[in-house]
Structure 1
Amino acid sequence: MPTRRVVVRDAPAPLVSGLQRLADSLELPGDFPEDVLAEAEETAHSGPRDGLARSDRTEIPFVTIDPAGSTDLDQAVHIERLPHGYRVWYAIADVAAWVRPGGAIDSEAHRRGQTYYAPTTRVPLHPAVLSEGAASLLADGRERPAITWCIDLDADGVMVSWHVERSLVRSRAQLSYTGAQADLDAGRDEGVLGLLREVGQLRQRAEAERGGVSLNLPEQEVVPEQDTWHLRFRAPQPVEGWNAQISLLTGICAARMMLDAGVGVLRTLPPAQQRDVDRLRHIARSLGLSWPGSVGYPDFVRSLDPVDPDGQAMLNACTLLFRGAGYTVIDSSHSDRNSQHAALATPYAHTTAPLRRLIDRYTGNACADLAAGRPVGEWVASAFGALPDEMTDSDRRAKKFERGTIDLVEALVLHDRVGQRFDGTIIDVDDRRTERGVASIRRVAVEAPVEGQGLRLGAEQALLLRLADLEQGRVLFELA
């Protein structure tokens, strides 16, 4: 599922405490146990512990591009122009070099599954001494172990060949999305950023041609104005989409390698149900958005303006088609049909975020072993059977944490407006209990539950804010 990011600066105490209650209710992990911290400190100081040979790629001028202030840096990129295309170098932090299979860090990572994010806190997958220090691809002049991909593309951005290896790399610069986009817009960097734009746009075009779509949701930001709080949306910068295409490209290569070898785990998504597409078309009509019958879902999504409030509401509604995403173990019964990620219209594997997601450590090392002509390591192959359930469980908690966070933020924005009237568009009605639905309140950039007899899907109706409980993170409107 695509992730909705919420940013709150100088969060008030009720929101901070509400997020902690939410984390506790979901039984999210707390502080790391002492044995995990001790093992992480020892490993960070002694260096990589796997003892594997690595090629020297420190001459490649890798850079990282992430949200400003990030320190858990999974990926670094460099792109070269070839006579008939491009060469993409993509270095992924080799977390396995720092984590002993079956050790304290490893066991704790399996318990957590992934990093959990909220506006005022983060529950990391690994201790900070590793994830924000020794294993992170920081531009501090130090060499670090990486799973490094070399992917050659033709002039249209189509994959020609690829290779992956364990190597040593050195990141040269830590860029932010905002700064990178400003440099591109001003024409200040036509080096790696200029090539990233070229390759990213070509890969976006290739995605469209194969019938895929990437859902880049707008970021919600809570901003103070005098004594009240307001929500506003921030559209993703174009460079974020281009950078994401490099990650997707790598995940596609990884999936093909593992499928060819008959071993590994894919990230899969079944085709959308027609009733869900029909529901989205109804929501589009309710928001006044044109979606001709001849236009398919991927092309419609690409036409949405993430800056426009109606486009934002529609993008959030489109997450409906991403329900059902899961992890599928590759085995002898595998077929092309159950290998696909329907939204991307291609087989795909999570492999580029091992500092933040457990499964990526395994898929990345499986591909490195396969490329070296070796059987997949026993510690990797033996984990594949259990990883889908472990990741599904952590995904479930992460989505509940995300949804609960949004509920708390919306309660914060609305808690002093109980009793006020709003105009809202009904964007969902429960099939079984038609007096319950969801309304999009564009005036305050909120989507919240609504109750009342006479809810009409797609209609703009007068609503009354009945409840905005910051303690419980509950917002409820009723028909006025």
Structure 2
Amino acid sequence: MPARRLRLVPPARLLDAARVVQDALAALRRELEIPSDFPAAALAEAEAAAAAGPRDTGGGREDLRALPFVTIDPPGSMDLDQAMFLERADDGFVVHYAIADVGAFVEPGGALDAEAHERGTTLYAPDVRTPLHPPVLSEGAASLLPGEDRPAVVWRIALDGRGEPVEAVVRRAVVRSRERLSYDDAQARIDAGTTGQEAAASLALLREVGELRIARERERGGVSLDVPEQETVARDDGTFGLELRSTLPVEGWNAQISLLTGIVAARIMRDGGTGIFRSLPAADPRDVERLRRTAAALGIGWPTEVAYADLLPTLDSAVPRHAAFLTEATSLFRGASYEAFGGTGQDAGVPHDAAHAAIAAEYAHVTAPLRRLVDRYGTEACLALCAGEPVPRWVLDALPGLPRTMARTGQRAGSFERATLDVVEAAVLAGREGEEFDAVVVDVAERDDDAPPGAPARGQVVLAEPAVRARAEGVDLPLGERVRATLREASVAERRVLFTVGPSGDAD
């Protein structure tokens, strides 16, 4: 889809429009108490750690620089958490997955550690990124940048011919990534079928292993939704825009390697009686029934004997009706949380039912420690358990409080990211009130029983151009149908956009 800019704004006002967005985002950060800088003590610790190199964590490091690791990330990424190398072994495969060793740079209990607990996760916005760790670490000494020797935590996961894990171990190592690839780069190389080099062969296996893992996910009853992503983008002229970006197949295959690692990490934690799971309750039967009604309203056949996980592969997000259904399906699984066990003072034991319903397996976050706090703790627990050593005391002491920390910081991150989109959407549309746009109705709220006759329905629409998803009202909102939507309000300051769909906005 073509890039989008602020539209119908005279060139002389471009910088003014950009300032309006920047001012609104600055106000949002103040409202949510998002820090603009690192405390001096935390920054000093990070700079000293980067200069000194990885601290001695005990046990030494295996030299794996001969393995041709590559990273696959969005273009321009510098905080590179993961690098991979895949190879065949007998009738199966071996996945080597290198993860940035943040624990080698952050001193437990120090100022940098305390600040990471305050932040919890990296926050992304079109103007400024608010990192979990100072860039001197997250984009420098700890990042798996190509051509640099880096400390890493490397998972070695043996798979059988069906892609099921049969053995997994994790240890500290030193690695040297060969190349930093974007998703587009990786997809192009896989599609071209380039052979003859170790890294190229590894990419080819990523498709094969990724598809096997997707098949195993469906067998378990897990789901992966192919919904186009709405992204804010910063332009070279200082303005901001929106894009709807369809995911590439390689992104799904790449994600399966991370999911695989999280699944085997959870098994190690369960066997060792210490760790922290990422859990998600099963969908409420009432929500499943609601989704079935949505499918019927959209004209999507969903036989009662067909499982939800089996329906999804038959849908194409490029079809408006299917996109509306997939968008609605994102709300089916709600209530994700963390469950810690085996920590200091925790006597309840391993949770009996802590599966992640969307993955259909027990699962742990261990693959993004540069950007998510909890991953460092899960990683350290797995390292100790695999080595047959006691889990470090600082990990055990932190485990009981981690779910609360991640809930607090995760809620703030979700609020910030949604409000950021609201700001940019309003800015893109400001000054166009009264105009009509091509749109698709993607969500319709159920009417209250006491709603008066003729009261407008409420829902959401996605515009064809620009890539905006916003609230809409109308006497009739036909779910999954194309409509003409009239812009009623676009307020950057209030972070609000509202459309009406009615007699003047109906599709031809």
TM-score scaled to structure 1, two decimals? 0.91
Q: Are 2:392 and 1:374 aligned?
A: no
Q: Is 1:329–2:340 an aligned residue pair?
A: yes
In structure 2, the CA distance between the partners of 1:230 and 1:293, relative to structure 1 (3 Å rule), is farther
- Report what 2:406 is aligned to: 391
User: Do 1:266 and 1:328's aligned partners in 2 also have CA atoms closer than 8 Å?
Assistant: yes
| 293, 298, 303: which one aligns with 2:314 | 303
* 2:230 equivalent among 211, 220, 238: 220
Residue 408 of structure 1 contacts residue 470 of structure 1 at CA under 8 Å; is this kept in 2?
Answer: yes
- The structure whose residues are more often strand, as a share, is 1
Seen in structure 2, the aligned counterparts of structure 1 residues 39 and 222 have a Cα distance that, compared at 3 Å, is closer
1:438 matched to which residue of 2?
Answer: 459
| Structure 2 residue corresponding to 1:162, chosen from 163, 168, 178 | 168
Cα offset, 1:69, TM superposition: 1.0
2:210, 2:252 within 8 Å by CA — same for their partners in 1? yes
Q: Does 1:467 align with 2:489?
A: yes
1:255 corresponds, among 234, 243, 266, to 266
The SS at the match of 2:146 is coil
Amino acid in the other structure paired with 2:414: K
1:215–1:381 Cα change, 3 Å: farther
Unaligned ranges ≥5, structure 2? 7-13, 503-508
* Aligned counterpart in structure 2 of residue 180 of structure 1, from 186, 200, 204: 186
2:110 to 103, 108, 111: 103
Matched, 1:207 2:214: no
Q: Counterpart of 2:193 in 1: which secondary structure?
A: coil
Which one has the largest radius of gyration? 2
Cα distance in structure 1, aligned partners of 2:470 and 2:301: 24
Q: Which residue of 1 aligns with 2:69?
A: 62
Counting matched residue pairs gives 471
What runs of 5+ residues in structure 1 fail to find an aligned partner? 1-5
AA aligned to 1:278 is: E
Is contact 2:5-2:240 (8 Å) kept?
no
> In the TM superposition, what whole-angstrom CA distance separates every residue of 1:246-269 from its partner, at most 9, and x where no partner exists?
100000001011111111110000
Shift of 1:88: 0.5
Aligned CA distance change for structure 1 residues 38 and 229 (closer, same or farther; 3 Å): closer
Residue range with higher mean Cα deviation, 148-157 or 165-174: 165-174
Q: Distance in 2 between matches of 1:13 and 1:281?
A: 45
Instruction: Please give the alpha-carbon distance, in whole angstroms, between the structure 1 residues aligned to 2:263 and 2:442.
Output: 38
Q: Percent identity?
A: 50
User: What whole-Å deviation, never above 9, does each CA across 1:285-320 have from its counterpart, x for those lacking one?
Assistant: 444444333332222233332334444443332221
**3-state SS in 2 of match to 1:125:** coil
1:388-423 Cα deviation digits (max 9, x unpaired): 010011111111112112222322333233123456
**CA separation in 1, counterparts of 2:486 and 2:5?**
26
Is 1:37 paired with 2:47?
no
Counterparts of 2:482 and 2:499, CA distance in 1: 13
CA contact (8 A) 1:208 1:298 kept: yes
Alpha-carbon spacing, 1:378–1:335, altered in 2? closer, same or farther (3 Å): closer
Give the secondary structure class of the aligned counterpart of 1:45: helix
Is the Cα contact below 8 Å between 1:79 and 1:192 reproduced in 2? yes
Q: Where does residue 23 of structure 2 map in the other structure?
A: 17
The answer to whether the 8 Å contact 2:221/2:309 transfers is yes
Cα distance in 2 for residues equivalent to 1:373 and 1:275: 45
Residue 86 of structure 2 is aligned to residue 71 of structure 1: no
Matched residue type, 2:168 = W
Shift of 1:231: 4.8
| Aligned position for 1:3 | none
CA RMSD of aligned residues (A): 2.7
Structure 1: distance between partners of 2:440 and 2:63? 58
Corresponding letter in the other structure for 1:470? V
Q: Kindly state the Cα deviation for residue 378 of structure 1 after the two structures are TM-superposed.
A: 0.4
Q: Aligned equivalents of 1:173 and 1:443: distance in 2? A: 36
Q: Tell me which moved more, 315-324 or 328-337.
A: 328-337
CA pair 229-109 structure 1, distance change in 2 beyond 3 A: closer
Rate the CA distance shift 1:412–1:284 in 2: closer, same or farther, 3 A: farther
Q: Is 1:358 the counterpart of 2:365 in the alignment?
A: no
| In the alignment, structure 1 residue 240 sits paired with structure 2 residue 287 | no
Match of 2:441 in 1: 425
